[in-house]
Structure 1
Amino acid sequence: MTTTQTDHPDVRQKGLARMAETLAGWTQKWFPDAYIFALAGVVLVAIAALAIGASPKAVVDSFGNGFWDLTAFTLQMAMVVLTGYVVATSPPVARLIDRLAQVPNSARTAVSFVAVLSMSVSFVNWGLSLIFGGLLARAVARRADLHVDYRALGAAAFMGLGAVWALGMSSSAAQLQATKASIPPALLKVTGVLDFGTTIFTWQSLLTLLILMVLTTVIAHFSAPTGSAVKTAADLGVDLDDQPEPPAEKSRPGEWLEYSRVLPILAGVLTLGWLVSHLLTLPILSVVSSLNGYLLVFLMLGLVLHGTPRKFLQSVTKAVPATAGILVQFPLYAAMAAILTKATGAGGLSVSEHLAHFFTSIGGNGAFAVIIAIYTAILGMFVPSGGGKWLVEAPYVMQSATDVNMNLGWTVQIYNMAEALPNLVNPFFMLPLLAVLGLRARDLVGFTFQQFLFHLPVVLLLAWLLGMTFEFVPPVIPN
């Protein structure tokens, strides 16, 4: 068969699609598995700690003692995958996703459609966005009438996390700053309590969210490969069958409860009672954005939606292998964070504090917003944990913001804007999605890195320009 000019990928692909294809090809060849990325990061920060004068004993002690610091978070992230998968593969939600997957009428529209829904859901809850976006991408990829690139779909499904997650209501930093009981005493003395009216729901933050969503959607649309450059799920060896196996026939009387809807309904009633009780006694945002509460509700919701314990457990069994990467990789990030923050060198300063002092020392004269955004993005490459990193970064960043008369609420949002940037490069938060998609980080990073190249200057520009619209408001320190 003779290849026509329009079939040749180097001729057909233009603009963003050509750029994405080039980056995708490079990352598939050179980008290591996410676990290798984590191992290399640990070695790099250990060398950095030794370079600032930390003793080898301090480095190895920080590594070993901090290795399990994220144990609870590791379990939570594994449960994010499991609960999201179980809910999304339940018959009612699977039918909804299948209907949504029929909306796009072209391959590129499908990619941008997945990106928009992923970012929209992420504003409410980033954990749901990962799994919902991943399963929507799989449903779209199953359409025989769309010759759509599975890598581009997967990258679009990640945009809720990679583009806007920290500007939404589940932002760890904004949630912490709005909850007096959660703010460490040392930080509370610097910032006071900053409710969502000073962070998430300022017009500057909402405008930033809108701009980034539009930018992300346009890039996702025009960077999707077409024609012979497309790599479908089948080309990548991914099985798209999300249907649970039919339950086996009852073989003994003791199995009748496994096929009964009674226990799931009762468990659902208990969960609903807990949810109503908390909504009546606590601020609604603190309830809907609580990760533990989210996991409880979604686990029980999955049980109810599947109808019987047997069907629920079949779905759980299918979801468990998807958590493997999280279980072995997150401890390395915990060790990395411990070395960065606890292995001190000359003057009793850690690597993290050396970085902070460097950036804040040159952050005056209107450049503070840009410097803090750059610092947050750089540190996020090595400590990709929104809530945990804010606890490390906030005391000296917020004190510096006060010193240069920068609005504290906007400083939190500068952090949130920049916090998403490392996710486009570092596959830490990509792991749950990769498990759902059946892909590796190298399959998506070419597309997400392209987003990073566009997002970085836009985020820095917005942090600077919109920061000029704020006035400094001295913090109100509660008694």
Structure 2
Amino acid sequence: MARAGFVLADWSEKWFPDAYIFAIIAVVIVGLAALFMGRTPIQIGVDFGSHFWDLVPFAMQMAFVVISGYVVATSKPVNRLIVKLSAIPKTPKTAVAFVAFFAMVASLLSWGFSLIFSGILIREVSKRVKGVDYRAIGAAGYLGLGSIWALGLSSAPALLMTTKSSIPTSLYKISGTIPLTETIFTWQNLVMIIVLIVMSVTICYYSTPNADKAKTAEMAGINYGEGEDTKERTKAEKPGEWLEYSPILTFVIVSIGIVYVFNVINTKGPIAALDLNTYNFIFLMLGMLLHWTPRSFLNAAAKAIPATGGVLIQFPIYAGIFGVLMGSGLTELLMKFFLSISTQNTFPAIVGIYSAILGLFLPSGGGKFVVEAPYLLEAAKHLHVGLGWVVQVYNAAEALPNFINPFWMLPLMGIMGVKARDLAGFSILQLVFHLPVVIFMVWILAKTVPYIPAIF
């Protein structure tokens, strides 16, 4: 099975275009469908352009998930923690399983944090444990994005649906707001998280080659030795730089931030307060505190910004697709299609399969959700399926194509110095197990979820 994964990885690296190309192909497909529905090219252009900027606030929120996650993961206190953790595993199999576990747990806090944290942990573990297959451990570090990230606190769809100002008006008219108590903070979601972590770590352990058969980083010409990183300056050399290297301003702004967070929690409650804005705010304040000086924080933020390019460019395209779907009546047509092939019993499984397939072409949890949500949630209302559970079905299934689509691998690949094909073989092995288990869980657990009307 591992050999088959390598063949598929080679094929995808040769034939799969950039994620941006997938988004443009989606525009063409939706545009052609709109023409078939009777829209003129001018009307399609107006629909696309008039909605193009609808997701700017949401795109910025997603960009800050990346930035804040990177800033926290690269701070000195977190780096010291990573060094201590890296001394725990002693064999190649335990090292890969160890990285997989922490990658998945970290992704529950932030998918952006998970990628950077895992990449640094892999580097440190590879220095200490001899005979670790760099492909197996790299795929393990990516497991958070391929499995459970969207079931955690940085779930873009779940957080989007709690924030009225971030929900497109047309979607809000269908769903209203959906609190986190109906999505990520449910016992059904916890069951999925536990099952997927146990299964993934077990697969990592048993699929990792022994030291005598492993292809190590050294064999691939990758150097994780000491002294690779350029040391940053820690002291001011000019009077004008003094505040940049002093913690005084950090202390002031973080103190103000703490006051705000406590006020939001006291006013709304700890769960209702956790929308995208509050989540990003907390992570950003934590990053400032952990870096201690403004200069260290700014250096880390500057290194994180290139990783946000795909988000900033592609999210407006997703908003344009949403506009064409709404303007052409395709959302209503798709809603009727799902109603025609679904029952209350089968709807969750059908949504899961559909979302996983579409994720190959629109590799963005938040952006793709805005495209899918109008017709999926409208169909769910007709079938009396819990709207919050539909969001979680989407979350669980949307992560599956990440195992083979290289878009979200980029930050991890940059730290490890590898290519997508190096990780894809073992990732596809995980997908073989994840796909049936995820679809079964979203179907069977749906039977325990009550239908709650939309909240406006």
1:191 and 1:222 mapped to 2: Cα distance? 43
- Once residues 409 and 275 of structure 1 are traced to their aligned partners in structure 2, the CA distance between those partners, rounded to angstroms, is 26
Q: Given the alignment of the two structures, is residue 451 of structure 1 paired with residue 435 of structure 2, yes or no?
A: no
**Pairing of 1:17-32 with structure 2 (within 5 A):** 17-32=2-17
- TM-score norm. by structure 2 comes to 0.83
- Matched residue, 1:203: 187
CA distance in 2, matches of 1:105, 1:233: 18
Structure 1: distance between partners of 2:218 and 2:51:
39
Partner SS state of residue 382, structure 1? coil
**Structure 1 residue 163 corresponds to structure 2 residue 147:** yes
- Matches of 1:386 and 1:90 in 2, distance apart? 27
Q: How far apart in 2 are the matches of 1:49 and 1:189?
A: 22
Q: Contact 1:67/1:332 (CA < 8 Å) preserved in 2?
A: no
Who is 2:240 aligned against?
254
Shift of 1:160: 1.8
| Amino acid of the structure 2 residue aligned with 1:403 | H
- Give the partner amino acid of 2:346: A
* Residue in structure 1 matched with residue 306 of structure 2 by the alignment: 324
Equivalent position of 2:343 in the other structure:
364
- CA drift at 1:98: 1.0
State the TM-score, normalizing by the size of structure 1.
0.79
Partner of 1:245: 231
Equivalent position of 2:393 in the other structure: 414
Of 157-166 and 145-154, the range deviating more from structure 2: 145-154
Q: Contact (CA 8 Å) 1:423, 1:429: kept in 2 or not?
A: yes
In structure 1, the partner of 2:84 is 99
Change in CA separation of 1:76 and 1:432 when aligned onto 2, cut-off 3 Å? farther
Answer yes or no: is 1:382 the counterpart of 2:376.
Answer: no
Q: One-letter code of the match for 1:349?
A: G
Match of 1:232 in 2: 217
1:38-60 residue CA offsets vs partner (Å, 9 max, x unmatched): 55555555555555554444455
Query: Could you report, residue by residue, the CA deviation over 1:234-271 in whole angstroms, capped at 9, with x for unpaired residues?
Result: 72657676745241765433333333232222222222
Which residue of the partner structure matches residue 137 of structure 1? 122
Residue equivalent to 1:475: 453
List aligned pairs for 1:330-345, cutoff 5 A.
330-339=312-321, 341-342=323-324
* Equivalent-residue separation in structure 2 for 1:32 and 1:468 (angstroms): 39
- The 8 Å contact of residues 174 and 377 in structure 2, kept in 1 or not, is answered as yes
Structure 1, unpaired ranges of 5+: 1-15
Question: Counterparts of 1:453 and 1:152 in 2: how far apart (Å)?
Answer: 16
Over 3 Å counting, the alpha-carbon distance change for 1:333 and 1:408 in structure 2 is: closer
How far the C-alpha of 1:99 sits from its partner, in A, is 0.9
> Which structure 2 segments of 5+ residues have no match?
none
- CA displacement at 1:223 relative to structure 2: 3.5
- In 2, the alpha carbon distance for the partners of 1:438 and 1:79 equals 24
| Alpha-carbon distance in 2 for matches of 1:408, 1:465 | 16
Distance 1:342 1:298 in 2: 35
The residue number in structure 2 matching 1:274 is 260
Q: Does 1:89 align with 2:71?
A: no
Give distance in 2, aligned partners of 1:234 and 1:49. Answer: 52
SS in 2 for 1:285: coil
What residue number does 1:373 align with? 352
Paired with 1:303 and 1:38, the residues of 2 have a C-alpha distance of: 34
> SS in structure 1 opposite 2:148?
helix
- 1:124 corresponds in structure 2 to 109
CA drift at 1:132? 2.1
1:299 matched to 2:280? The reply is no
Residue correspondences, number? 454
Deviation at 1:313, TM superposition (A): 3.7
- Within the candidate set 82, 99, 107, 1:114 is matched to 99
- Taking a change above 3 Å as real, the CA distance of residues 69 and 425 of structure 1, as seen in their structure-2 partners, is farther
Q: Is the 8 A contact 2:389 2:446 kept in 1?
A: yes
Query: Aligned-pair distance for 1:281?
Result: 2.0
Contact 2:6 2:424 (8 Å CA) reproduced: no
For 1:325 and 1:193, the matched residues in 2 are separated by 30
Does structure 2 retain, via aligned residues, the 8 Å contact 1:150–1:232? yes
